[in-house]
Amino acid sequence: MVSLALLVPGPLAQPLPAMALPDMNGQMHNLQDLRNQKVVINLWATWCGPCRREMPMLEQAARQNPDVRFLFVNQGESAATIENYLRQEKLDLSQWIRLDPDSTCRRSFVRAVCPQRCSLVATRCNGPRWARSVAKC
């Protein structure tokens, strides 16, 4: 599964999928509203070991890079499950979390982004290398 997509506006950028995702409070957010911004979309789940290991690093990257919009799009879990995980791990990510109960976002990115072999996609890799690459955006 692709875990991260770094979408930088420009002539090679793939458009964001035309979809709206709810935040933890149920408010809907349209992904296309972010079309002219640098965006990192992390597709994750609480049951995913690599996702759990990278979340503290991603929270730090989000705080250190305010010019980049981070979205943590949860794949198929309830807000209660996510809240429990965040509380247990002492993570403060609620403002950046979006819910994707049917994993629609994952299917959109696999189809739209992965076939393009260019710098627009960042797949899961060691935290420090990824964090340095975000800082260069």
Q: How does 28-66 read in b/e, with b if 16+ C-beta sit within 10 Å?
A: eeebeebeeebbbbbbbbbebeebeebbeebbebbeebe
For residue 14, name the pLDDT band (cuts at 50, 70, 90). low
d(CA 46, CA 67): 27
User: pLDDT at residue 7 above 60?
Assistant: no
Per-residue model confidence (pLDDT) at position 35: 76
Per-residue model confidence (pLDDT) at position 15: 65
For 59-118, write each residue's pLDDT tens digit: 998 999 888 888 899 999 999 999 999 999 999 998 999 999 888 877 676 544 433 332
Contacts of 130 (CB under 8 A, 6+ apart): 4, 57, 61, 122
CB 107 within 8 Å of CB 76: no
Per-residue model confidence (pLDDT) at position 31: 85
Per-residue model confidence (pLDDT) at position 80: 95
CB 21 within 8 Å of CB 29: yes
Token pair in block for residue 22: 């709810």
